[in-house]
Amino acid sequence: MIRIAVTMLVGDRAKFLGIVFGLSFAAMLMTQQGAIFSGVMALVYGHVSDTPQAELWISDPGLAEIDTTGPINERELDNVRAVEGVRWAVPLLRTLVHARDPDGRITPLMVLGFDDATGIGAPLPKAMVAGAAGALQRPDTVVIDEYGAASKLRVALPDGGSRALGLGDHLILNGRDTEVVGLCRSTLSLMLYPTAYMRRSHLSAIDPDQDGSFNFILAGTVPGADAQEVCRRISAATGLIARTRTDFSRHNHDFYLHESGIPANFAIAVLLGFVVGAAIAGQTFSQFVSDNRRIFASLKAMGMRDSGLMRILLVQATTSALLGLGLGVGGAALFGCLLEGTDLSFRLEPLLILIAFAAVLVISLAAAMLSLRSLLRLDPALVFRS
């Protein structure tokens, strides 16, 4: 029966290709848009992921998301260090600074001022592409993420071309000449600003508005301590809000999920793919069944029951769904490969493939079921009519 079903399906090449095209289009658009959405949402907590040493992130209680928080002073840092269960606590200053590149262009940088004493918050050694984070001990030095150096901060050449910002180049940060001493890998921010790293004391010196304050405290817990309980103690003792790294990432993710228009825009695109794919596949499948009525009538005349015809349709629908899924996901994956090195983030996860498969299977089975009614009412004598 499976052989009969597949032979009928591929025998009508035009209809077969039309069904698979509709399902492939739906699978590709849903997977592609879902992967871009997943990638974009991962950017909102990228700098949290880039700082694995910090078990706890402590901030002003009014924090909405990572880019909107209030200042914290040294006294509050000492209070956090005094809380039972806290092993260490260091400040982190995260702020936007305008940089003038060697060609005079002004570009916003998201600068992370890490703790001078411990270096926690600086790029990890494995993240360094050129230079070393240790060179930041020298005054007026900065490490830039390699993507920003290659795309946003390019240096013009005499022949009219350009090159990526490199070691030894200089930027003017808030009017202060600063040397680039390293390039590193860093997760893009949601606003796609280049990321820079420097010591907090140096960052405070070029940004007088900070007045020695900072906006985050990074902390670690003593071995065996319950991180959630330590967070509660910190909040009770200081009035600040303390979250584990996972909870802080989720907080930023949920803010953009519920408070921004990003999900709605992607949902519209996914829905469009589903509707268009369903329309193409449904209409084509219905026409396929109509054009093959004589074959179905012959099978009925030879004694095949309605349940047999139903199984044939289900096999054809499932085969079409699998082919559509493979081509659609393959197209989305190819699209993701082409995006590598661009501003657009792409994150194809197994869950997206499962969702796409469920969607195309629903489309395919729905198209088959809509055609089933006319098939069950089919007169076997149709095969003997001219």
**Given this model, what pLDDT does residue 374 score?**
67
**Given this model, what pLDDT does residue 113 score?**
92
Q: Give the distance, in angstroms, between the CA of residue 65 and the centroid of all CA atoms in the same chain.
A: 17
Q: Among residues 268, 226, 258, which one has the least CA distance to residue 244?
A: 226
Distances from the Cα of 340 to the Cα of 151, 344, 345, angstroms: 13, 8, 8
d(CA 27, CA 359): 8
pTM flag (> 0.85): no
* Contacts for 249 with CB less than 8 Å, ≥ 6 apart: 45, 48, 49
Per-residue model confidence as pLDDT tens for the chain (386 residues): 677 777 767 777 788 888 888 889 889 989 998 898 888 888 888 888 889 999 999 999 988 888 888 888 889 999 999 999 999 999 999 988 989 888 888 899 999 999 999 999 999 999 999 998 889 999 899 999 998 898 888 888 888 788 889 999 999 998 889 999 999 998 877 777 899 999 998 888 887 666 667 999 999 999 999 999 999 999 999 999 999 999 999 998 888 888 888 888 888 888 888 888 888 888 887 777 777 766 766 766 676 676 777 788 788 888 888 998 999 999 999 988 887 766 677 888 888 889 888 888 888 888 877 777 766 666 565 555 54
Alpha helices in the chain (DSSP H): 2-11, 13-43, 46-49, 74-81, 146-151, 200-206, 227-238, 245-259, 262-291, 293-301, 306-338, 350-376
**Given this model, what pLDDT does residue 76 score?**
92
**Given this model, what pLDDT does residue 240 score?**
94
Q: What tokens appear for 291 in the block? A: 């054009």
What is the maximum alpha-carbon separation in the chain? Answer: 95
Distances from the Cα of 280 to the Cα of 12, 43, 283, 324, 360, angstroms: 16, 35, 6, 12, 12
Distances from the Cα of 54 to the Cα of 12, 50, 221, 255, 374, angstroms: 61, 10, 9, 21, 64
The size of the chain, in residues, is 386
Per the DSSP assignment, residues forming a β-bridge with 241 are 59
**Given this model, what pLDDT does residue 207 score?**
76
**Given this model, what pLDDT does residue 297 score?**
66
Q: Among residues 259, 249, 150, 260, which one has the least CA distance to residue 194?
A: 150
Per-position DSSP letters for 117-170, written without gaps between them: TT-TTSPPGGGEEEE-GGGGGSSSEEEEEHHHHHHTS-EE-TTS-EE---TT-E
**Given this model, what pLDDT does residue 306 score?**
64
**Given this model, what pLDDT does residue 376 score?**
66
d(CA 149, CA 109): 11
**Given this model, what pLDDT does residue 211 score?**
67
d(CA 186, CA 371): 53
Distances from the Cα of 239 to the Cα of 4, 93, 210, 242, 257, angstroms: 72, 19, 21, 9, 27
Residue reference for tokens 């989305």: 332
**Given this model, what pLDDT does residue 42 score?**
82
Residue pair 284/368 in contact (Cβ under 8 Å)? The answer is: no
**Given this model, what pLDDT does residue 172 score?**
92
